[in-house]
């Protein structure tokens, strides 16, 4: 079944988990679609895992367009979500629309942007003009230098209240999906229950509507530091397709993430 904003909503309503992985090229897109991964994220994590940068900040729109086009060629029934890179959307809703239009023309079916309540106006502007949006909150890696490192967000009462407001404001603005990164599991659960639209977690515990991982992390390809929430699915699998299938199965069965992957 072709994934759309409607089928994603239906999965949440039926309490079926959504599997998402990052994807940067056509061959992986084909394998992921065959494994039943519902959403392929052309993530700006490609700056770190493909380009060898130490953050996602150097990634530009042209590079995101290129990888989006590669992935879209072989995405099958999976939905292609493309990250808006740093500097391509924060200035204004108009700037965000111009950049998103390029990603959509390259084959994206949804764009993802980082930021809370303060990005709601931009989300509304995009959705009203035909661009579905996934809003990324919690640890937003493009703001790593403001956070002072890749740290769990929403740990204080004030931080947790802000994240709840962020999620509500983004949903009200029309976000079709809310992605939470490195958020305490209890808070992610509460936010998930408070929203009609699906939530996707990475380091947000098991009680969200879906999971995402960076494919180079879950196959043990990335040589850099491994976050607590990463699991290598190639362990115990005899091929990459089998590892992708094991991931989908673990997400559906709620056996991933386990407590040791959770904050
Ligand atoms: O770019 C990326 O890989 C992401 C995920 C970690 C959610 O944004
Ligand atoms: Na990203």
Q: What is the DSSP letter of 117?
A: G
CB of 203 closer than 6 A to ligand 1?
no
What is the count of structural domains for the chain? Answer: 1
Interval between CA 53 and ligand 2 midpoint (Å): 14
pLDDT, tens only, 56-113: 999 999 999 999 999 999 999 999 999 999 999 999 999 999 999 999 999 999 999 9
Q: Can 14 be counted among the known catalytic residues?
A: no
> Taking the alpha carbons of 224, 225, 228, 232 in that order, is the dihedral positive or negative?
positive
Question: pTM for this structure?
Answer: 0.98
Q: What is the DSSP letter of 85?
A: P
Question: In Å, what is the CA distance from 80 to each residue of 64, 105, 154, 157, 164?
Answer: 12, 12, 29, 35, 27
Interval between CA 53 and ligand 1 midpoint (Å): 15
Q: Is there a contact between 124 and 175 (Cβ–Cβ < 8 Å)?
A: no
Report the alpha-carbon distance of residue 256 to residue 91 in Å, rounded.
Answer: 37
Ligand 1 atom with minimal separation from the 20 CA: 7
**Could you tell me the CATH number of the domain that includes residue 166?**
3.20.20.60
Q: Is there a contact between 22 and 45 (Cβ–Cβ < 8 Å)?
A: yes
Structure tokens at 111: 């764009």
Confidence of residue 260 (pLDDT cuts 50, 70, 90): very high
Q: Which ligand is nearest to the CA of 214?
A: 1
Q: What is the DSSP letter of 177?
A: E
166 known ligand binder:
no
Q: What is the DSSP letter of 125?
A: H
CB of 178 closer than 6 A to ligand 1?
no
Close Cβ partners of 51 (under 8 Å, ≥ 6 residues apart): 58, 59, 63
45 known ligand binder:
yes
Q: What is the DSSP letter of 141?
A: G
Confidence of residue 176 (pLDDT cuts 50, 70, 90): very high
Report the alpha-carbon distance of residue 256 to residue 205 in Å, rounded.
Answer: 9
CB of 214 closer than 6 A to ligand 1?
yes
CB of 217 closer than 6 A to ligand 1?
no
Q: Which domain holds residue 89?
A: 5-261
């Amino acid at each position: 079944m072709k994934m759309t904003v409607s089928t994603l909503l239906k999965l949440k309503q039926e309490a079926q988990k959504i599997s998402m992985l990052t994807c940067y090229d056509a061959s992986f897109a084909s394998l992921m679609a065959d494994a039943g991964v519902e959403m392929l994220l052309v993530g700006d994590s490609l700056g770190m895992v493909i380009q060898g940068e130490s953050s996602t900040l150097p990634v530009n729109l042209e590079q995101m367009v290129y990888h989006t086009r590669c992935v879209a060629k072989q995405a099958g029934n999976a939905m292609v979500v493309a990250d808006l890179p740093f500097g391509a959307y924060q200035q204004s809703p108009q700037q965000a629309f111009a950049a998103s239009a390029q990603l959509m023309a390259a084959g994206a079916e949804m764009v993802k942007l980082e930021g809370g309540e303060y990005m709601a106006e931009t989300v509304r502007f995009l959705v009203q003009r035909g661009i579905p949006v996934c809003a990324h909150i919690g640890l937003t890696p493009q703001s790593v230098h403001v956070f002072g490192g890749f740290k769990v967000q929403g740990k204080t009462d004030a931080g947790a209240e802000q994240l709840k407001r962020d999620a509500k404001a983004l949903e009200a603005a029309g976000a079709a999906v809310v992605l939470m990164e490195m958020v305490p599991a209890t808070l992610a659960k509460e936010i998930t229950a408070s929203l009609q639209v699906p939530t996707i977690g990475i380091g947000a515990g098991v009680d969200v509507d879906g999971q995402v991982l960076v494919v180079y992390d879950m196959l043990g390809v990335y040589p850099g530091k491994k976050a607590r929430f990463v699991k290598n699915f190639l362990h115990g699998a005899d091929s990459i397709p089998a590892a992708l299938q094991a991931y989908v199965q673990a997400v559906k069965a709620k056996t991933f993430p386990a407590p040791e992957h959770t904050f």
